[in-house]
Amino acid sequence: MGATLDLVVVGAGIVGLSVALAAARKGKKVLVVERNAKAIGASIRNFGFITISGQKAGEHWERARRTRDVWAEVAEQAGIAVIHRGSVLPAYRPEAEAVMEAFLTTPMGMECRRLTPVEALAHVPALRADGMRAALWSPHELRVESREAIPKVAAWLEQRHGVSFQWNTVVTAIDGTRISTSRGPIEADACVVCPGDDFSTLFPQRVAAYGLRICTLQMLRVMPAIRTRFGAAVMSDLSYGRYEGFADLPEAAALCRRLDVEASEMRGLGIHLIAVQSADGSLVVGDSHVYGDAPEPFAKDRIDALIMEAFDQVFDLPGRRVVERWCGTYASARDRVVMVDRPADNIRLVMVTGGTGASTGFALGEQVVDTLFA
Ligand SMILES: Cc1cc2nc3c(=O)[nH]c(=O)nc-3n(C[C@H](O)[C@H](O)[C@H](O)COP(=O)(O)OP(=O)(O)OC[C@H]3O[C@@H](n4cnc5c(N)ncnc54)[C@H](O)[C@@H]3O)c2cc1C
């Protein structure tokens, strides 16, 4: 008897939803199986910042461009608000300005441009003008509210594309076309496992071969004292020294050396600044990166204080209040930004291993589905 399902996807984070969408668009009958009653992992804890400028050059940057286009389509159809577009990266140190200028000469910089401080403030009036040398304008980015967007993507997949969901169900083993779950077995022709940072439930030996670590991030929601408009996402000098699309440029070496002296504690904790705005005017602000073999359970006040120090260096928002704090985790690899493993011809194990799944997941889902059903 043939299996009635073409594909089971394990995990209802953005990577699993992306695989489900790509397969459904090929006319496949898809079931997503998720351990929790709703997605509660990295995909709803992030900035909802669909980033292109700053992604690793080459294939990953291309993935981000494609993913942004899919997000634009999905957002419109699923009723997801795009809260702002583009990003502004002010450069306060001459070394950051040099990285910005170098980036603009690469193919990735072609649609971006240099802004004067006055032009930067026209996008984001809360920026500090004093000491700002220039800013990078990138037109590509989108910002969605992930905690609302991810459930809406799942509901839209169900209604529009006929994707089924089985919540509160753990997949415990996969053997050929038989998928064992905490609620009994399922038969499907193919299975794609998108477990986020769960390294131990499915194919643990195969996952172990990649030497992955867990990265824990601290995040804050900040309410300005007076309403201020963010017309774009904001990053900072620290981001030019961290995001691979900038930090891999030779010009970044001098910036990193300077940051290692002037901001050594922040650099040691992997802190850089991203600030994006929500519909109620509050700002999602982060983040830090602490690596280990398990999620870090305890959020450190010192890390939050350093993130807010980085925030106050870039924004002039006296009286701002922290109104929410949370941690998130993701799978991290030293040597790759994505991991696609092939336990069998009809099975794939997929992880985004560089903290960019919101920005690259839809394209990665298409790539995985193309090879799976080739
Ligand atoms: C704080 C933070 C900020 C970030 N900011 C950004 C950003 O702005 N832009 C960006 O592009 N990226 C960002 N990232 C990275 C991005 O969020 C992740 O790369 C992405 O969410 C990973 O998606 P995922 O589907 O693999 O994982 P998850 O969202 O963790 O989902 C995995 C799901 O699989 C389920 N699961 C695992 N095993 C099983 C099993 N055996 N059976 C059933 N279910 C199972 C889990 O319950 C979980 O729901 C950020 C990450 C964090 C933590």
Residue 284 pLDDT exceeds 90 = yes
The mean pLDDT of 3-12, rounded to a whole number, is 92
pLDDT value at 328 more than 60 = yes
Cα 228 to averaged position of ligand 1 atoms, centre (Å): 30
The whole-number pLDDT of residue 280 equals 97
Q: Cα separation of 44 and 39, whole Å?
A: 7
Please say if the pLDDT value at position 3 is more than 80.
no
Q: What is the pLDDT of residue 261?
A: 98
Checking if the pLDDT of 1 tops 50, the result is no
Q: What percent of the chain has pLDDT over 70?
A: 99
The preferred substitution site among 43, 65, 143, 194 for testing ligand 1, maximizing ligand atoms within 8 Å of CB, is 43
13 lines ligand 1 (CB under 6 A): yes
What pLDDT shows up at residue 308? Answer: 98
Dist. CA 233–CA 202, nearest whole Å = 37
**Is any atom of ligand 1 closer than 6 Å to the C-beta of 54?**
no
Q: What is the domain partition of the chain in residue ranges?
A: 1-83+144-210+337-374
Distance from the Cα of residue 227 to its chain's centroid = 27
Please give the C-alpha separations between residue 44 and each of 39, 147, 233, 305, 318, in angstroms, as whole numbers.
Answer: 7, 5, 18, 23, 29
Q: What is the mean pLDDT of residues 32-49?
A: 98
Q: What is the 3-state secondary structure (H, E, C) of 188-242?
A: EEEEEECCCCCCCCCCHHHHHCCCCEEEEEEEEEEECCCCCCCCCEEECHHHHCC
Is the model's pLDDT at 16 over the cut of 90?
yes
Please, are residues 292 and 216 in contact by the beta-carbon 8 Å criterion?
yes
Q: Decide whether any atom of ligand 1 lies within 6 Å of the 46 Cβ.
A: yes
8 A C-beta contact, residue 350 and residue 368:
yes
pLDDT for res 2: 46
Q: What is the pLDDT of residues 105-137, one digit of tens each?
A: 999 999 999 999 999 999 999 999 999 999 999
Q: What is the pLDDT of residues 242-259, one digit of tens each?
A: 999 999 999 999 999 999
| Closest CA relative to residue 206, chosen from 340, 300, 28 | 340
Dihedral sign, Cα of residue 311, residue 315, residue 318, residue 324: negative
pLDDT for the residue 213 = 98
Q: What percentage of the chain exceeds 90 in pLDDT?
A: 99
3-state secondary structure of 289: coil
Q: Taken in order 225, 218, 44, 79, is the CA torsion positive or negative? A: positive
Q: Is 112 exposed, middle or buried (0-12, 13-18, 19+ CB in 10 A)?
A: buried
Q: What is the mean pLDDT of residues 231-238?
A: 98
Which residues share a beta bridge with 332? 213, 354
**Centre of ligand 1 from the C-alpha of residue 198, in Å:** 10
The first and second tokens of residue 210, run together, are 């990649």
Residue-by-residue DSSP string for 60-87: HHHHHHHHHHHHHHHHHHHT----EEEE
Q: Give the mean pLDDT of 278-291.
A: 97
Q: How far is the CA of 13 from the centre of ligand 1 (A)?
A: 5
The CATH number assigned to the domain with range 1-83+144-210+337-374 reads 3.50.50.60
- What number does the ligand 1 atom closest to the CA of 215 have? 53
User: What is the Cα–Cα distance from 101 to 18, expressed in whole angstroms?
Assistant: 34
Digit-coded pLDDT (tens) for 342-369: 999 999 999 999 999 999 999 999 999 9
> What are the residues whose beta carbons fall under 8 Å from the beta carbon of 156, sequence distance 6 or more?
74, 77, 78, 79
Mean pLDDT of 313-342: 98
Average pLDDT, the chain: 97
**Residue 64 clears pLDDT 50, i.e. is over it:** yes
Q: What pLDDT was estimated at residue 87?
A: 98
